[in-house]
Amino acid sequence: MNLSMLLDMAADAFGERPAVSCGARTLTYGELRLKAHAVAAQLKGGGFAHAALLDTNGLAAPATLFGSAYAGVPYVPLNYRLTDAELNALLSRIAPAWLVTRPEQLARLALPGGITPGDGDQLPAGGADTPVPQAPEDPRAVAIQLFTSGTTGAPKAAVLRHENVMSYILGTVEFGSAGAEERALVSVPPYHIAGISAVLSSTYSGRHIVLLPSFDAEEWLRIAADQRITHAFLVPTMLVRIIESLEAAKAAASLPALRAIAYGGGKMPASVIARALQLLPSVDFTNAYGLTETSATICLLTPEDHRNAIASAEPAVRRRLGSVGRPLPTVELEVRGESGRVLGAGEPGLVFVRGGQVAGEYRGSGSLLDAQGWFATQDRGWLDADGYLYLEGRADDVIVRGGENISPGEVEETLLAHAAVADAVVVAIPSEQWGEAVGAAVVLRPGAQVTAEVLQQWVRERLRSSRVPERVLFRGELPYNEMGKVLRRVVRAEFA
Amino acid sequence: MRAIKPGLRLKSAVCTTEIMVIRAPAGEVRLDCGGCEMLSVTESAPAGAKLEPAHAGGSLIGKRYVDAEERYELLCTKGGEGALSLDGTALQIKQAKALPSSD
């Protein structure tokens, strides 16, 4: 089993169809396979242990992803936003490696030993004389290694094996199911699991991928209109910016081809998705919840779930806009208490998952799955009576106030419901009396004015008194990473 | 007869069909394509192997093939003229389940 099989099948069945475009350049599935064969030949000739990519979205990303699979070498896309020192440290960990990148990236790096650079824009096209690689079939071989953005210490290297990635794609995508007119706009970076799974899913379904090198809302809207984009994946901050652009233009969105937007990679406020549904009524919205360690999506809130929620007067159905949906048919999910007991509907605890796509493994620390194959996501959440999962945040972010567990998400939602509040994040702050207490950093809407006392009273009226922020900081903006995740450790430091 | 397990890839002895095993319980079975036993990717077809007209219904790339109880599931990775059968019974195409695109 090898993920290059996805490209082989696509190239055999519809080799003349466009596979991937970036700017003015396009490769058909047949051409992408030839290019991947050429990459594999280079990798095999060089005796490399890894194939790294340090680049924005471009044709080099899918070519290196599939080329490394053909060669049986793990693919390691790197975050180009890291500092030079951070990148050099990661490169030292994967030597000997071939580094597919660009001259301007090389100029800033002092490459450690064992790293051989290659220009991503100059990858060979491959042709009739390119040797056809015999892809190794070991399902346990490592397909992809992704460095996670560790909050403390050195980044961990999450390992995805061919069997994990293939389990996800074969379990969720029907081969060749995309119509010839379907085009997916990919604006998540290639080092993110969503950027990788977008390429793999689109290849297997036969959907033409259009790559956006770096996200900008205006550019996204322009390309979506010009290229008649039908499908897209967005992280919450990207969707927020697109909505703001649409609202600022005060014109009906001229995106007649757009059918489906999937979103994930961070918490999406229910108010944002409600606005999106209003602005783009003909678009199907899907919430995809997943982790790097689970080879992408494990839960889906379907377009039908979205429409039912927005149309319902019943609070239990309506609140599902804030849920991440139900597990995939190929994934089992449980919520467990501190003691390990499986909890019932409405009881918050830790989210565990099991299934073929769940890798749950880091380089050097081995498998983190328990004896029965379950993986602790480190996310807290609860299931409703119909099996919809509601996330409350990372287990590490829970505030323990005098023995009582407080999840920041609940307090944040309440603050966000205040008319003056544009954004809010809640973190644990040190408290002599309680050990930890609630701290809130708040961004007000333009022109809005409100005091800390008013917000504290607002929370007190809606939640238990233990949830009331002991301190409220007002900020011009909150710190986010490029994938739209709020950096809680930075906020915590501001309270110290 | 051969033991098959998920991930195993086999090819037809009489046409271009190739499959990968997605699901299979333990034990040995006979997997045929076009009326002839399928081969591992490194084996070559026995002399005289030919497509039997009764088993020429064809296989389609990307389709999943299952037995009546869905205990076995194969993915056709290359289509061909031969039809797939398991222990003498024709395998059927499994209906696609429609999941919304999540990436």
Place of tokens 């089993």: A1
Q: pLDDT band for position A116 (50/70/90)? A: very high
- Shortest distance between the Cα of B101 and any Cα of chain A, in A, equals 7
- Mean pLDDT across the stretch A203-207? 97
CA distance A21 to chain B (A): 17
In the numeric block, which tokens belong to residue A308? 């039912």
Q: What is the pLDDT of residue A253?
A: 62
Q: Give the Cα separation of A282 and A211 in Å (integer).
A: 23
CB-CB under 8 Å, A260 with B100:
yes
User: Could you tell me which of A59, A69, A55 has the C-alpha nearest to residue A18?
Assistant: A59
For A368-393, how does the pLDDT look when each residue is reduced to its tens digit (9 = 90+)? Answer: 999 999 999 999 999 999 999 999 88
Write down the CATH number for the domain with range A4-193. Answer: 3.40.50.12780
- Coil, helix or strand for A270? helix
Cβ neighbours of A139 in B, within 8 Å: 6-7
Only one residue has tokens 């966000």, namely A416
**A399, β-bridge pairs:** A406
Which tens digits make up the pLDDT trace of A320-369?
A: 999 999 999 999 999 999 899 999 999 999 999 999 999 999 998 889 99
CA angle, A347 as apex, A342 and A348 as ends, to 5°?
A: 95
pLDDT, tens digit (0-9, with 9 covering 90-100), for A389-440: 999 888 888 898 988 888 888 899 899 999 999 999 999 999 888 889 999 9
How far apart are alpha carbons B82 and B76 in whole angstroms? 12
Whether residue A151 is predicted with pLDDT greater than 60 in this model: the reply is no
Phi and psi (nearest 5°) for A309?
-65, -45
Mean pLDDT for A63-68 is: 98
pLDDT confidence band for A36 (50 / 70 / 90):
very high
Q: Do B61 and A175 touch (CB under 8 A)?
A: yes
Is the model's pLDDT at A204 over the cut of 80?
Answer: yes
Question: Distance between the two ends of chain B, CA-based, in angstroms?
Answer: 40
Chain A residues in contact with B23 by the CB 8 A cut-off are none
* Average pLDDT score over residue span A230-258: 87
User: Chain A contacts of B7, Cβ < 8 Å?
Assistant: 1, 137, 139, 163
**Residue A140: closest C-alpha in chain B:** B7
Please give the interface size between A and B, counted as residue pairs whose CB atoms are below 8 Å apart.
72
Largest CA distance in chain A: 74
Which pLDDT belongs to residue B79?
A: 97
pLDDT band at A83 (very low <50, low <70, confident <90, very high): confident
DSSP 8-class letter at A467: G
Q: CA–CA separation, A298 vs A357, rounded Å?
A: 9
Smallest Cβ distance to B101: which of A176, A262, A264? Answer: A262
B99 CB neighbours in chain A (<8 A) are 172-173, 300, 328-329
Vertex A145: Cα angle to A140 and A149 (nearest 5): 140
**Pick from A12, A198, A329: CB nearest B78:** A12
Mind listing the pLDDT tens digit for each residue in B57-66? 999 999 999 9
Distances in Å between the Cα of A372 and the Cα atoms of A45, A274, A341, A369 are 41, 39, 15, 8
Predicted confidence at residue A150, as pLDDT, reads: 57
Average pLDDT over chain A, rounded to whole?
93
Q: How far is CA A356 from CA A170, A322, A373, B9, B23, in A?
A: 11, 27, 9, 18, 12
Share of chain A above pLDDT 70, in %: 98
- Condensed to tens digits (0 to 9), the pLDDT of residues A256-305 reads 899 999 999 888 878 889 899 999 999 999 999 999 999 999 999 999 99
CB contact under 8 A, A194 and B77: no
Query: Would you call A302 and B75 a contact, using CB atoms and an 8 Å cutoff?
Result: no
What's the CATH code, domain A398-495?
A: 3.30.300.30
Mean pLDDT of A88-117: 93
Judged by average pLDDT, the poorest of A19-28, A73-82, A271-280 is A271-280
Q: What is the pLDDT along chain B (103 residues), one digit of tens a residue?
A: 899 999 999 999 999 999 999 999 999 999 999 999 999 999 999 988 999 999 999 999 999 999 999 999 999 999 999 999 999 999 999 988 778 888 8
Phi, psi of A236 (to 5 degrees): -50, -45
Q: Is it the case that residue A251 has pLDDT exceeding 70?
A: no
Q: In the numeric block, which tokens belong to residue A189?
A: 């970076």
The residue ranges of every structural domain in chain A are 4-193, 398-495
CB-CB neighbours of B89 under 10 Å: 10
Probe site for chain B from A14, A169, A173 (most B CB atoms < 10 A) = A173
Which of A9, A233, A296 is facing B77, going by the closest CB pair? A9
Of the pLDDT bands very low, low, confident and very high (cuts 50, 70, 90), residue A152 is low
Which stretches of chain A sit within 8 Å of chain B by CB? Answer: 1, 5, 8-9, 12-13, 137, 139, 163, 170, 172-177, 184, 194, 197-198, 201, 205, 231, 233, 260, 262, 264, 284, 286, 288, 296-297, 300, 302-303, 328-329
